[in-house]
Structure 1
Amino acid sequence: MEIKAQVRALVGAECKLGEGVLWDAGRSLVWFVDIKRHRLWHYDPASGSSGFAEAPDQIGWAIPTEGDLLLCGLKTGLFTFDPASRGFEKLAEVPGEPANNRLNDACTDPWGRVWFGSMDDAEGEGSGRFYVFDRGEIRAAGPSGITITNGPAVNAQGDRIYFTDTGGQKIMTAPLSSEGVGEARLFADTAALFPDAFPDGPVADAEDHLWTGLYMGGQVARFSPDGELVATIDMPARDITKLAFGGADLATGYVTSATKNMSDDDMKQYPQAGSLFGFDAPVRGFALARAKLG
């Protein structure tokens, strides 16, 4: 079912690879990144103001911690970011990661653990895999041998986690608990539904459905808990990367987009590509846990 939504460009960020959009309820801000331009963006819906901090390397995501900092995934490892000083400080390297890999997407679970993925920066080798950062410890957890990882995403109950194999056009799911993660299985084969598009960043809503951006697809798509496609929303950009639910009522959809694979003709067709978009969502999200650093 196609849902008609009035989608508006909120920040003309001209992102080369916009990603990692997230609602920070404590600060009432939206955070998102431009991976290739090393920018950590913020957007204030109340004032309409926005700006960015320069990261020391490619930055895939930023997640609020239980303190005053953000935890960020950069090409060279995990960093903290202090919004007051706008400074980055390296926290940890990811053990065993190839030099050609970078970190790409992440989420928290109800226990404050951070789940994240790595990938080949050239998008050619199956060197990517998933990890969990658990109060200072980083360990491999979830699928491996993936060229482009996206997600993970955790549902509101915290009993299910989703992993995306973007190049393979597959979304997987696994049981989750305070003890860890179970074996992943296929959730949705998006190649059968969107043969020319690729599932990008996923996020769950309050009704236990999963949303995903569609890179090369110009849409976000919603799936039921059993993996059935139930809705799509058209976006004013071709390469849609990730969606987050935010605002005081968690009923605004915020969406990032990219331009790195677009030609001049493509940009004429989608002049707002690279922007942060917003729309009134047909469902609500849920409050995300803050990351525990220790």
Structure 2
Amino acid sequence: MTQSDLFLPMIALKAHAELGEGPRWHAREKRLYWVDIAANALHRFDPESGVDEIRTFDAPVGCFAFRKSGGLLLAMKQGFATLEGWDARPLPFGEQLFTASPDIRFNDGRTDPAGRFWAGSVNLKKSAHDAALYRLDRDGVITKIEGGMLTCNGAAFSADGRRFYHADTPSHALRGYECDPATGTLSGRRILHQFPFGKGRPDGGSVDQEGCYWTALFDGGRVARLSPEGEILMEIALPVTRPTMIVFGGEDRRTAYVTTARTGLSDVQLAEQPLAGSIFTFRVEVPGLPEWDFGL
């Protein structure tokens, strides 16, 4: 890998995902887990062999976390569930919040350094600002943190857990907060960066070791790296218009993986973007943060 190879997007997997999302690097397994929300599918991709395993469920998985005790925590249509192993059956965990809400499901989430899981929901019909951010504590207690959104996205923490970021994607605004690591309380909400309308909106994101936030700009055909103060430091173009999430993996966490989507694209657009739904990869200079496990 030479200096000229940095930030050069390449295809990691021609997945043809309808709504590829939520990639997470499993350091012990050296695999990339990700979901195709529209297909109710959880994937486990081995970059070394090129093998991509698939689990399908009766309901969509919006996001997930690795569990300290093993297996996965899934954020599904009605609520959270645990998956004891790859072939296991999901078991409900905590209150099933959206059982009576057909237009709401979990969408995007992240574990903080203390082992709590933060997950946002989405109003699928965009009919009301009733999507919200929730915190799932290690004992299964769920707390609603912030409401009034259409699509809660992009959850990510700084290395010390004292800064938190997320976006209400249709607003094009990336939000920043102070977080108390001991209590999981947010304060000091601010707009970290307001992206212009019509040039891509912030979807999933991750933080690197310098405290910079990377975001995938849906309908913007690129990912962007922002300073802790919200200044755009770098943008990397992709050959598709709908990147959904960026995460970092590999032995040194300097390999970026970007999921993308085909959903909503016309036949003409799909013909122009034959790689839509693929996972892209490129090398970066600054390592990303590890994925923290949920639980004690």
Q: What band does the TM-score fall into relative to the shorter chain?
A: over 0.9
Match status 1:109 vs 2:126: no
Provide the residue aligned with 2:84 in structure 1: 82
- In the other structure, the counterpart of 1:120 is 123
Residues 21-32 of structure 1: matches in 2 within 5 Å?
A: 21-32=23-34
Counterpart in the other structure of 1:62: 64
| Residue 155 of structure 1, CA deviation | 1.0
Amino acid at match of 1:273: A
What is the CA distance between 1:50 and its match in structure 2? Answer: 0.8
Identity of aligned residues (%): 31
- Alpha-carbon distance, 1:93 to partner: 3.2
Amino acid at match of 1:54: T
Matches within 5 A, 1:235-250: 235-250=238-253
Q: 1:269 to 1:4 in 2, by over 3 A?
A: farther
**Separation (CA, whole Å) in 1 of partners of 2:265 and 2:6:** 25
Q: Residues of 1 paired with 2:10 and 2:94: CA distance?
A: 38
Runs ≥4 residues deviating over 6 A: none
SS at match of 1:248: coil
The match for 2:143 among 139, 146, 151 is 139
* Aligned counterpart for 1:166 among listed residues 165, 169, 181: 169
Greater shift in the superposed pair: 250-259 or 194-203: 194-203
* Superposed displacement of residue 181, structure 1: 2.4
Tell me if the contact between 2:217 and 2:223 (Cα under 8 Å) persists in the aligned partners.
Answer: yes
Indicate the RMSD between aligned Cα atoms, in angstroms.
1.7
Contact 2:117/2:137 (<8 A) preserved: yes
- Match runs of 1:281-292 below 5 Å: 281-292=284-295
Partner of residue 189, structure 1: 194
1:124 CA displacement: 3.2
The one-letter code matched in structure 2 to 1:185 is: R
Calculate the TM-score normalised by the size of structure 1. Answer: 0.93
Work out the CA distance in 2 between the residues paired with 1:110 and 1:117: 18
Aligned mates of 2:207, 2:127 — CA distance in 1: 28
CA contact (8 A) 2:79 2:97 kept: no
**Which residue is 1:213 aligned to?**
216
Task: Give the distance between the partners of 1:125 and 1:276, measured in 2 at CA.
Answer: 32
Q: Is the 8 A contact 1:56 1:88 kept in 2?
A: no
- CA offset at residue 227 of structure 1? 0.5
Q: Determine the structure 1 residue equivalent to 2:203.
A: 200
After superposition, give the CA deviation of every residue in 1:199-251 in whole Å (9 maximum; x if it has no partner).
Answer: 10111111100010000011000100100111001112110100000011100
Whichever residue aligns with residue 233 of structure 1, its letter is I
Q: Which amino acid aligns with 1:288?
A: E
Partner of 1:180: 184
Q: Distance in 1 between matches of 2:258 and 2:126?
A: 22
Compute the displacement of 1:86 (Å): 4.2
- The letter of the residue matching 2:184 is G
Aligned-pair CA distance for 1:159: 0.5
Checking the alignment, whether the CA contact within 8 Å between 1:12 and 1:276 is kept in structure 2 is yes
Q: Which residue of 2 aligns with 1:71?
A: 73
State whether residues 130 and 144 of structure 1, in contact with CA within 8 Å, keep that contact through their aligned partners in structure 2: yes
From 214, 226, 230, the counterpart of 2:229: 226
Aligned length: 288
Identify which range, 272-281 or 87-96, moves more after superposition: 87-96
The amino acid across from 1:13 in the alignment is A
Q: Aligned to 1:87, what secondary structure does the other structure show?
A: coil
| Alpha-carbon distance, 1:268 to partner | 1.6
Gapped regions of structure 1 (runs ≥ 5): none
